[in-house]
Structure formats: C-alpha cells, structure tokens
Structure 1
Amino acid sequence: MALATKLEMRQGQQLVMTPQLQQAIRLLQFSNIELAQFLETELERNPLLEADDNTDAPVRAERDSESDDHIPERAAAESAADNTSDASASDTSGDDDSDWVDLERPAADPEGTFDTEYENLYPDSTRTEQMQDATTTDSGWASLRQRGAGSGEDVNIEAYLQSETSLRDHLSEQLPLALSEPVDRLIGQYLIDMVDEAGYLPADFDRIVESLGAPHAKVEQVLSRLQTFDPPGVFARSLAECLALQLKDQNRYDPIVARFLENLDLLAGHNLPALRRAVDIEMDELLEIIAEIKRLNPKPGLKFGSEYLQPVVPDVLVRAAQDGSWIVELNSETLPRVLVNRTYLTTVTKATGSAADRNYLLECLQTANWLVKSLDQRARTILRVAEEIVRQQDAFFTHGVQFLRPLNLRTVADAISMHESTVSRVTSNKYMATPRGIFEMKYFFTSAIASAEDGAESHSSEAVRHRIKQMIDGESSASVLSDDKIVELLKTDGIDIARRTVAKYREAMRIPSSVQRRRDKRLVVRVSQSEEAL
C-alpha cells in the first residue's frame, strides 16, 4: 500500500476562549463582593476608568402573576449619561462583540439578545460633588471627613464612638488585675488568644503547654486564675468544665453535681434511670439538677462581639405591585457603574508623542469599553434569569413555601433561550430579596417528587420538607409521628414518597427519630412539672 501526501481544506466551527472571554465568564459568576473587589483592582490599573457612585432607580421588570404564559417586559432605564454613552457606543473596534453571556448559543447580533442597547442600562446621572476638605486643625476630624467623602455618605460619628467589645478585649482588660507577674501575664495572654468565640480552650491542652515551653503546673495555675474571669465559664476545655465553673461561681457545686457532670453523656442520651443510678439520688432531685443545668449558658463567650460577618446583600429585589403582578428589579447597591473618562483621554492623547504610549492608551480604552459592556450584559442576564424564576415560582411568592414548584436549570434556560450552564453561573452566589425573605437564587431550583394521583403535578422536594417539618412541629408528647405514619399522611395529601426519603429529609433538617423525640418531650414535661413544684 503506497502512502501519499495531499492537501485538504475543511470548514468547521470552534469556540476560542480568549482571555477577555474567560474573564467575562468569571465576571458573570462573581458575587457582589467579589465584583466590587475586581472593579477596585481595575480602577487602580486602568487610568481611563472611573467609578460612578450615584445611586439611581434600578433596572426593573414587571411580571403578571395571573398568567404563566406572560413574558415579562423589561422597562428600559433612562438615557445614560454622556460619558456612559460615549464609553459604550464608540471606539469598540478592539472589543470582542461575541455573546459571552451564552457561549453555547452564539447569536449573530449579540446586542439583539437584549431589549435595549448597552447604553440604556444605567440611568442618566451626574457626578455628585465631593465633600470639601475640612478646614479644621483637628486631624482626626479631618480624617473622618475624608472617609465620608470617599464613601459618598455622611459621616456617622456613632460608628466611631461606639464599638462592640469582643470577648478577647474583655478578657484582656481583666488580665492585669488578676496577674501581676510578667511571666504569668504572658501565659495568660497566650491562653486568651487561644479562646474561641464560645469561650472554650482547645481540648488538646497539653499541646498548648508544649507550645508555651512552660511547666505544666505553672500553666495550670495561671489557667485556674483565668477561669475566675467574667463571664463565668470561660477558659473551659469541655462542656462539663464550663458548667462546673458557672456552678462554682454560684456556689452550687457539690459532690452530687460533680457526679452528675461526669455522666453528661447519659443525659444527652436521655437515659434518666441510668443517670439516677450513677448520681445515686432520687428522681425528683435529679430533675431539679437538670432544671438548674438548663438555666446555665453552655457558650458564655457568645454574648460578646465576635468576628464581623458580612451581611447578605441581595442582587435582585422582588416586590408586589398594586395590580397583583410582581416587580423584579436589580438592587442599585450592587449594580456597579464605571465610566470612561474621555476628557482625560483627550488631554493625555494630545500630550502623548511616542507610539508605545498611544498603544497603551488604546489598550486601556479597549479594556474599559469591554468592561462597561460586560457589566451591562451581566446585569441584564441576571435580571432575565430572575424574571423567569419569579414567573415559574409565582405560587411560592403568593402562597408560601408549600407551593414551591419543582424547577431545574434546563427549564429556565429553555424559557429564556440560554444554556443551562449560563443559568448556573448567574444563580451562583446571587441572592433575591422577596416579601417572604432573602433567598439564594439556587434555592428555587428543587427536585421533583411524584404525585400519588395519576396525571397530577409533581411536588417540590423543598415543599415536601416544609410539610414534614410542619407535621413534626405539631406533634404532642402523646402522639409522636413515626416515619411510616408521615408517609401515610403525605400519601393522603397526594404525595408519593418512600419512607427512606422521609428519613433522609428529617435527618437533613436535624430532626431526631420518633423514639428520640418522644423521650425529649417526656423529659420536657417532667422538668417543667419539677420547676412548677419549686
């Protein structure tokens, strides 16, 4: 067989992931905090970009709640500012105009995938005047004025005068009053730094002693002094020790209580007969000790300030309109606005003589235009997905979680002509504020559970979990529902579900078994009766 060489031409399509396209995909998946950090970096790197801190009416849409076939109409925002229009509409020769929002469904006209042009995303606004520098000799006040100007908000004096005391600060303030020796203070401060938010030390205390390089007896001596600090119960290495420290502070610690705390595992298992035998007391006295233990604080450190937790800021706002429809709008607080400073570009271009400088400015201009366009499409894509979620889950917003419908990514993607991977990126790390609370957008995507009736609509797994929780919450000590009984009740409501599925949902909600719940309810009744007798 002879081998021969020949030339062939083949035509095909291939998706090329340019660096800008890859960054655009990441931009779509960013949360509002990650997006703010990214824009801050871009503003520092690109001299032609500037932030527009004006807050205007957000992009919104209305959905008719009476018709599931109604396609939401997006209300176009007002005309953008001149700087924004120039940034979005001109000098786009270097931009990649591919529809980055939906890679799997490329369109001939990428701007045609939206109802308006890129320039119409952000309403017309003018730059607010920056706060004038303070003409005061007080450098601290001038610093506060400067901070307020940078954030675009009035200075909140109370934010600087009031601060929540943390547990570490509270313990450190007591340290010099309890310990006078420098070595003891050094050990004490190290132990304070090791305390967690609940007020506990790590269980492996020997490793702490080894890290300090001090005699074990010395560290134990310092620890015993620290365990007298306020709040009572701090510096404990176990729950039993924490409760013992609080009882000692109340002068209620005795050998009987000591034996009780040594057998806390029996109390956790609700094995009261075995606990009574271990402590060697009568049942009535045992119930009195249990009632007293319940009044203690198992995590004494939590009443002090802890680490700052970033609050959830919703990306989409949903509210009811007067005609019964739903208004879906983007949250203006998370809607970033960046402008291209063309005045600065013109000034610098006139003073630029070298080709390298002109190429640098051209690259900055192309990057700035791409960023403005990408933020535009990101915002509109989030809005389109949110509109479709509200349309699909209209019964949830109207009647509650028990009416949550089964929903998957493909259903939303097909409805708005996008790929399901795009919908998945949009709903990642995004939150929606509704009249029923703030939910992650992925919360509305739930699996389906078949109906017990032929031809009936399936049920959402989240709605079934909610119904199971309602049944268990309504139990009494005399009628605790088993998993089999819950299955029977759900089938009478038209929900076909297996017993193991009920058990899985119950365990996911951290609800104990029917045997454990029956013990808990009986214990609560007996403890309540004991407290009333006291």
Structure 2
Amino acid sequence: MALSARLELKQSQSLVMTPQLMQAIKLLQLSNLDLVAYVDAELERNPLLEREAGDDAPEPEARASDGADGERADWFEDDGAPSPERVAGVLDTDLGNVYPDDAPAPAAEQRGLDAGALVGSEWAGVGSGGGGGEDFDFENVLTGEIGLHDHLAEQIALAIADPALRLVARDLVDQVDEAGYLRADLDAVAERLGIARATVDEVVAVLQTFEPTGVCARDLSECLALQLAERDRLDPAMRALIDNLDLLARRDLAQLRRLCGVDDEDLADMIREVVALDPKPGASFGSTVVQPVVPDVVVRPGPDGGWLVELNAETLPRVLVNQAYYTEVSRTARGDADKAYLGDCLQTANWLVKSLDQRAKTILKVSSEIVRQQDAFLARGVAHLRPLNLRMIADVIGMHESTVSRVTSNKYMATPRGIFELKYFFTSSIASAEGGDAHSAEAVRHRIRQLVDAEDPADVLSDDTLVKLLRDAGIDIARRTVAKYREAMRIPSSVQRRRLKQSLTA
C-alpha cells in the first residue's frame, strides 16, 4: 500500500469552553456575597461598566451652610481663633447670659490656655464631624461593646505590678478563646519568653482570680472548680464529681456515688449545683457579630392558593454597559492597542450583564420547580417532605444535573416555615413498607425525633422499638439506619436517655 498525502474535510460537533462560558458557569455557583465581590472587582477593572442607580445610591455630601453675611460657618476668624460674637450668632444665644461678668472663667481660661490653642482640641471638633454639625454621627463617638481580652487587660493593670509579669499576662490573655478558656501550651510559652515554667504558673494563678469567675481555665473541670471554690463548695465529694465529668455525661450515677461517697439525694443536689454553673464564662462579652443569611429566593402564599416564587432583588447586583461612554472614547482611540482594549472591555461587559441575567433566570426556574415538588412541605411541614434528587429537577426544566447542582450550592430560600438552603430539599428516599410512595430521609429523621421526645421516661424506646413503630407507620427501615439517623441528630442511646430521665426525675 503506497503512502501519499491527501486533503480531507470532516464535519463534527464539539463543546468548547470559551472564557465567556466559563464565566457564566462560575457566576452560577457563587453565593450572593461572592457575587457582589466579583461584580465590584469587574466594576473597578472595566471602565464601560457602571452600577445601576437605585434608591440606595449615596446622596451628595452636604455642604456647610454659610451665614447670612456669607462668612464662614465654622465659628473661626481668619487667624483660627474662635470669636465669641461668631459663636453667639451661630447659636443664637447671648454669651453674656451664659457667662456673666461676675462668673468664673471657662475651664480653658483657668488653665491658662489661649483661644488659639483650642483649635486642635475642644473647638476643632465643633466645626467638624466631632461636634453637632449636620454630618454628626454618634457611631463615631460612642464606644463599642467591650471584649473579653480588653476586660482582662484592664484587670492586669490592677492585679500585677511587675512590668515583666504584666508582659507574660498579656501574652497569655491573647491566647484566651471566646469562651474564656486558656488555650496555650505553658511549656511553649515559658520557652518562647525565656522564663521559668513556675513563673508562668504563677501568672496563670493570678489570671484565674479575674472576673468573670472561671476565666483562664484550661479545661471544663478547672473552670467549674474555680467557680465552686469561689462559693466555698469545692469539698472532696464535689472535687471527685468534677474530676469525673465523663461519668456524669454518661449518667453513670452508680459509679459517681461510689467515687463521691454520697447517697442518691446528695448526688442529685451536687449535680444540680454543677449544672447551674457557667461552662463558658467568656461568652457573655462582645464577640464577632454573626452575619445573618440573606435568602436568594423568597416564597410566599399566592392569592389563588398556590405559591409565589420571587428573586430577592437585594442579592442581585445591577450593572449596565455605558454605551455612550464607549462611543465617545472609541472616536478618540487611534492605536490598534487602544481599539482592541475597548473592544475587549465592551465584550466582557456585555457578557457579564448577560451572564447575570441568565443566572437570575436559572435560579428562578430551579427554585420554582423545587417549590412545585415540595408543595406538601410548605403547606404541612417537614413530615411531608418528598424524596427529591437533582435528576428529577433537571429532567423537568431541561437542564443538566451539574447545572442544577451549581444553582443549589450556597443559595437559600425564604419560606413561611423558615430559611432553608436549596440543597435541604434534596433528600434520599426510604421505601414504604406497604408499597406506596417512598418517604424522605429528612421526614423519617423528623419522625424519629418526635418519637423520642414523646417517649415515657419509664419506658424509653430502644432502636428495635423505633424500627417497629416506623414500620407500623409504613416506613421500611433497617435498625442500623435508625441508629445512624439517631447519632446524626445527637440523640443519646436508650441506656443513656434512661439514665438522664431518671436523674432529672430524682
């Protein structure tokens, strides 16, 4: 067979991941906060993009109002010294009535300060935002909530006189977590600071006397011991109890009675006293503010008995392409590089606007189908949540499963029953014992929780009993599945629940 070169034409189809398509896919899976940050970065980079003016657009800065004579309204003369007449005119007050001739001089004059020296201190704040002008903001002058570290630092200055020990104390305080526990390796601290371990222990002992009681403890037992010691209740029996908190967590009351050497009544009183203590003494101080979840979709009842699904406009950044600016600049562009740059900016801006619009439409389409599938949940509660997977939604709306997965990531829906992540509505199915419709795994977990909450303390339900009750309700479920769901919901075993309920009723 001879070898020869020839030219062939072949037609085929392929999907090419263009930068624009990759951008659309990226935007689809971003949360609303990440989307706002991405759009802000594009607004800074692309001169043809501008934010759509809305009701929340910043108002023009208020300019200081001039006086009736057109002079400056900052109460100062040209040389920077405040004029009493100018102050009286602005305040519409006769200073003679405020400071009579026989009255003592103001505090500034008593200190021997001239008026010019006040420009950088008291009087400087009158004409600026520090005084009572139109732009005065209380947030600039009011103090915030004191934090735990600041509270402990104030006590260090009073309790420790040695400057070297103060430095050690400040280093240890910086390693106290929000709950008030000292999370530091004391040996490492001593080595890093070049001091003896006994010195570090001495400082820790001082820190543990600070308020709130129990702060700077290294574990829960030490925290509770500090609080009991302050109440003069740290006797040997109580010490044995807090040294065996694992037994208390398991409600092994028989072992605790032997270790503490007390009877049932005394042990019950001791347990009630320990439960009344504060396991997180530092939690009452200011901490990082938790940012609430902002829903992307809002669902509310419709007038016809159905559900209205709307996008939350607050989470949708609105940007426009400034065509007028592009036309004006393109006329002055001379070089090929300038024209290429403007063309790339225009194409990127158009694609971003189109991608944002497509993202909003896709989220609305997926959310509307989820609401249609989970109508019973919205109307009657979690017990009626239907089994649902990505393929079921994708087949109805004509999209790929990966697209639905990206839409439901980091997106939230506000319903009359609360705010839920979109992925919450996708749960596996559990077969029906009677051959009917399958049950949602989330609904089964809810049913298990209801059974446990309603159980009789004298007749605690075991996992086998839960399986029987669920099968009587038409849910075909295995015992290991019940145990897995129970552990996922942090429900103790039947033995632990029996001990807990007996101790509470003792």
Counterpart position of 1:149: none
Counterpart position of 1:361: 342
Q: Judging changes above 3 Å, is the alpha-carbon distance between structure 1 residues 453 and 296 closer, same or farther for their aligned structure 2 residues?
A: same
Q: Is structure 2 residue 36 aligned with structure 1 residue 9? A: no
Shift of 1:485: 0.9
Q: Judging changes above 3 Å, is the alpha-carbon distance between structure 1 residues 31 and 488 closer, same or farther for their aligned structure 2 residues?
A: same
Shift of 1:182: 1.7
Shift of 1:3: 5.5
Other structure's SS at 1:432 match: strand
Bigger shift: residues 128-137 or 184-193: 128-137
Following the alignment from structure 1 to structure 2, what is the Cα–Cα distance between the partners of residues 160 and 459?
A: 58
Counterpart position of 1:38: 38
1:305 to 283, 286, 289: 286
Matches of residues 403-418 of structure 1 in structure 2 within 5 Å?
Answer: 403-418=384-399
1:518 to 458, 474, 498: 498
Counterpart position of 1:254: 235
Check conservation: 2:172, 2:184, Cα contact below 8 A. Answer: no
Q: Judging changes above 3 Å, is the alpha-carbon distance between structure 1 residues 53 and 219 closer, same or farther for their aligned structure 2 residues?
A: farther
Q: Is structure 2 residue 95 aligned with structure 1 residue 166? A: no
Matches of residues 475-490 of structure 1 in structure 2 within 5 Å?
Answer: 475-490=455-470
Check conservation: 2:387, 2:441, Cα contact below 8 A. Answer: yes
Following the alignment from structure 2 to structure 1, what is the Cα–Cα distance between the partners of residues 475 and 261?
A: 50
Matches of residues 208-287 of structure 1 in structure 2 within 5 Å?
Answer: 208-287=189-268
Task: Write the letter of the residue equivalent to 1:520.
Answer: L
Task: Write the letter of the residue equivalent to 2:22.
Answer: Q
Task: Write the letter of the residue equivalent to 1:28.
Answer: L
Deviations along 1:42-90, one digit per CA (max 9) or x if unpaired, are 11111111112526xxxxxxxxxxxxxxxxxxxxxxxxxxxxxxxxxxx
- Is there any run of 5+ residues in structure 2 with no aligned partner, and where? 65-73, 75-126
Task: Write the letter of the residue equivalent to 1:131.
Answer: P
Counterpart position of 2:101: none
Following the alignment from structure 1 to structure 2, what is the Cα–Cα distance between the partners of residues 18 and 329?
A: 31
Bigger shift: residues 175-184 or 487-496: 175-184
Other structure's SS at 1:161 match: coil
Q: Judging changes above 3 Å, is the alpha-carbon distance between structure 1 residues 182 and 143 closer, same or farther for their aligned structure 2 residues?
A: farther
Following the alignment from structure 2 to structure 1, what is the Cα–Cα distance between the partners of residues 285 and 392?
A: 47
Counterpart position of 2:171: 190
Q: Judging changes above 3 Å, is the alpha-carbon distance between structure 1 residues 31 and 156 closer, same or farther for their aligned structure 2 residues?
A: farther
Task: Write the letter of the residue equivalent to 1:192.
Answer: V
Q: Judging changes above 3 Å, is the alpha-carbon distance between structure 1 residues 501 and 340 closer, same or farther for their aligned structure 2 residues?
A: same
Deviations along 1:452-506, one digit per CA (max 9) or x if unpaired, are 112x111111001001101101112112111111111111111111111111111
Aligned residue pairs: how many?
445
Following the alignment from structure 1 to structure 2, what is the Cα–Cα distance between the partners of residues 141 and 418?
A: 60
Q: Is structure 2 residue 433 aligned with structure 1 residue 452? A: yes
Matches of residues 330-369 of structure 1 in structure 2 within 5 Å?
Answer: 330-369=311-350
Shift of 1:134: 4.4
Shift of 1:229: 1.3
Bigger shift: residues 425-434 or 270-279: 270-279
Other structure's SS at 1:438 match: strand
Counterpart position of 1:474: 454
Check conservation: 1:260, 1:279, Cα contact below 8 A. Answer: yes
Task: Write the letter of the residue equivalent to 2:448.
Answer: I
Q: Is structure 2 residue 437 aligned with structure 1 residue 508? A: no
Following the alignment from structure 1 to structure 2, what is the Cα–Cα distance between the partners of residues 403 and 275?
A: 44
Deviations along 1:140-183, one digit per CA (max 9) or x if unpaired, are 589995xxxxxxxxx97459736333222222222212222221
Shift of 1:131: 2.9
Other structure's SS at 1:214 match: coil
Q: Judging changes above 3 Å, is the alpha-carbon distance between structure 1 residues 341 and 174 closer, same or farther for their aligned structure 2 residues?
A: farther
Following the alignment from structure 1 to structure 2, what is the Cα–Cα distance between the partners of residues 223 and 458?
A: 59
Matches of residues 295-444 of structure 1 in structure 2 within 5 Å?
Answer: 295-444=276-425
Other structure's SS at 1:317 match: strand
Check conservation: 2:129, 2:137, Cα contact below 8 A. Answer: no
Following the alignment from structure 2 to structure 1, what is the Cα–Cα distance between the partners of residues 234 and 394?
A: 64
Shift of 1:128: 4.9
Counterpart position of 2:61: 132
Other structure's SS at 1:194 match: coil
Following the alignment from structure 1 to structure 2, what is the Cα–Cα distance between the partners of residues 268 and 392?
A: 42
Shift of 1:139: 4.5
Deviations along 1:496-521, one digit per CA (max 9) or x if unpaired, are 11111111111111111111111111
Deviations along 1:215-269, one digit per CA (max 9) or x if unpaired, are 1111111111111111111111111100011112223223332222222222222
Other structure's SS at 2:308 match: strand
Other structure's SS at 2:179 match: coil
Following the alignment from structure 2 to structure 1, what is the Cα–Cα distance between the partners of residues 39 and 492?
A: 47
Q: Judging changes above 3 Å, is the alpha-carbon distance between structure 1 residues 513 and 143 closer, same or farther for their aligned structure 2 residues?
A: farther
Counterpart position of 1:58: none
Other structure's SS at 2:292 match: coil
Check conservation: 1:203, 1:238, Cα contact below 8 A. Answer: no
Following the alignment from structure 1 to structure 2, what is the Cα–Cα distance between the partners of residues 477 and 203?
A: 43
Check conservation: 2:376, 2:384, Cα contact below 8 A. Answer: yes
Counterpart position of 2:89: none
Q: Judging changes above 3 Å, is the alpha-carbon distance between structure 1 residues 436 and 352 closer, same or farther for their aligned structure 2 residues?
A: same
Other structure's SS at 2:320 match: strand
Q: Is structure 2 residue 51 aligned with structure 1 residue 51? A: yes
Following the alignment from structure 1 to structure 2, what is the Cα–Cα distance between the partners of residues 497 and 330?
A: 38
Following the alignment from structure 1 to structure 2, what is the Cα–Cα distance between the partners of residues 391 and 218?
A: 67
Bigger shift: residues 285-294 or 167-176: 167-176
Following the alignment from structure 2 to structure 1, what is the Cα–Cα distance between the partners of residues 134 and 355?
A: 35
Check conservation: 1:167, 1:304, Cα contact below 8 A. Answer: yes
Q: Judging changes above 3 Å, is the alpha-carbon distance between structure 1 residues 251 and 272 closer, same or farther for their aligned structure 2 residues?
A: same
Q: Judging changes above 3 Å, is the alpha-carbon distance between structure 1 residues 53 and 334 closer, same or farther for their aligned structure 2 residues?
A: farther
Deviations along 1:265-309, one digit per CA (max 9) or x if unpaired, are 222222222212212223322221111101001111112222233
Bigger shift: residues 277-286 or 155-164: 155-164
Deviations along 1:197-227, one digit per CA (max 9) or x if unpaired, are 1111126432333333321111111111111
- Is there any run of 5+ residues in structure 1 with no aligned partner, and where? 56-126, 146-154, 527-534
Check conservation: 1:407, 1:445, Cα contact below 8 A. Answer: yes
Check conservation: 2:186, 2:197, Cα contact below 8 A. Answer: no
Following the alignment from structure 2 to structure 1, what is the Cα–Cα distance between the partners of residues 384 and 143?
A: 45
Answer with 1 or 2: which has the greater Rg: 2
Report the RMSD for the aligned CA atoms in angstroms. 2.3
Following the alignment from structure 1 to structure 2, what is the Cα–Cα distance between the partners of residues 214 and 311?
A: 45
Output the TM-score relative to the length of structure 1: 0.79
